[in-house]
Amino acid sequence: MEAKSYIHLLGRTRILITEWLPFGENTILELSRKLETESGEGTHSILTEVIDPEPQEMIFRTDSIPTVIQVIRSEESRSIDFKCAVAYSETNADIQEEHFGVHVDNLGRIIYGLELLEAGGSRGRYSIDNVSSVIADLVHDSSKMLNTVISKYQKRLLELIYFNEPLHRDKFFLVFAEGMEPNMDDDSLMQFLQGVLELKQVLSSIKTVKTLEDGTLMILGAQGVIAVGENAFEYEQVLLTYAFMKSIENSLENALARLWRSWDMSEELKDSVFSKEGTNSLREINRRISELQSDVSIVTSVFRYIKDTLSSLSSVILELRGDSVYDLLGIDGRLEILRRRVEDAIPVAETLSREVEILVSVADTLLDNSIVKLMDAVEENTKRYVAIGEALELLEVGIFGVYAVELIHIALQYSGIEEDLMRFSFLGLSLAFWTILTIGLGGIIFAWYLLKLTKKRVMGEHGN
Give the footprint of another protein on this chain (CB under 8 A): 33-34, 39, 42-48, 50-52, 55-65, 152
Residues across the chain: 464
Q: Give least dist CB 188 to another protein, A.
A: 52
Quote the least distance from Cβ 119 to another protein, whole Å: 28
Least CB distance to another protein at residue 83 (A)? 15
For the bound state, the minimum distance from the C-beta of residue 69 to another protein, rounded and expressed in Å, comes to 9
Single-letter amino acid code for the residue at 410: I
Q: Between the CA of residue 398 and those of 147, 378, 403, 441, what are the distances in Å?
A: 77, 30, 9, 10
E strand or H helix at 169: none
Q: What single string gives the DSSP state of each residue in 4-42?
A: PPS-EEEEEEEEEEEEE----HHHHHHHHHHHTGGG-TT
Shortest distance, position 148 Cβ to another protein, whole Å: 8
The nearer residue to another protein, 60 or 449, going by C-beta atoms, is 60
Nearer to another protein, 63 or 461 (CB): 63
Smallest distance, Å, CB 150 to another protein?
A: 12
Kindly state the smallest distance separating residue 307's Cβ from another protein, in Å: 29
Q: Looking at beta carbons only, is 57 or 271 nearer to another protein? A: 57
**Cα–Cα dist 336/355, whole Å:** 29
Using the minimum distance from each CB to another protein, give the nearer residue, 29 or 362. Answer: 29
Beta strands in 186-297 (DSSP E): 206-211, 217-221, 224-228
Which of 90, 213 has the CB closer to another protein? 90
**DSSP alpha helices (H): ranges in 63-217?**
128-147, 152-161, 186-191, 193-203
Nearer to another protein, 66 or 221 (CB): 66
Q: Which class for 252: exposed (0-12), middle (13-18), buried (19 or more C-beta within 10 A)?
A: buried
Please state the closest distance from residue 118 (CB atom) to another protein, in A.
Answer: 24
Spatial contact of 113 and 135, defined as CB atoms under 8 Å apart: no
Q: How far is the CB of 180 from another protein (least distance, A)?
A: 40
Under 8 Å CB-to-CB from 118, ≥6 apart: which residues? Answer: none
Which among 161, 171, 116 has a CA at the least distance from the CA of 139?
A: 171
**On the CB side of 222, how many CA atoms lie within 13 Å of its CA?**
6
65 or 117: CB nearest another protein: 65
Residue 423 and residue 178: Cα distance in Å, rounded?
Answer: 137
What single DSSP character describes residue 123?
Answer: S
Nearer to another protein, 39 or 188 (CB): 39
Nearest to 120 by CA among 29, 201, 200, 4: 4
Nearest to 275 by CA among 162, 404, 164, 366: 366
Name which of 166 and 401 has its Cβ closer to another protein: 166
Nearest distance in Å: CB 120, another protein: 29
Distance, in Å, from the CA atom of 120 to the CA atom of 134, rounded to the nearest integer, reads 10
Q: Please say which residue, 59 or 318, places its beta carbon nearer to another protein.
A: 59
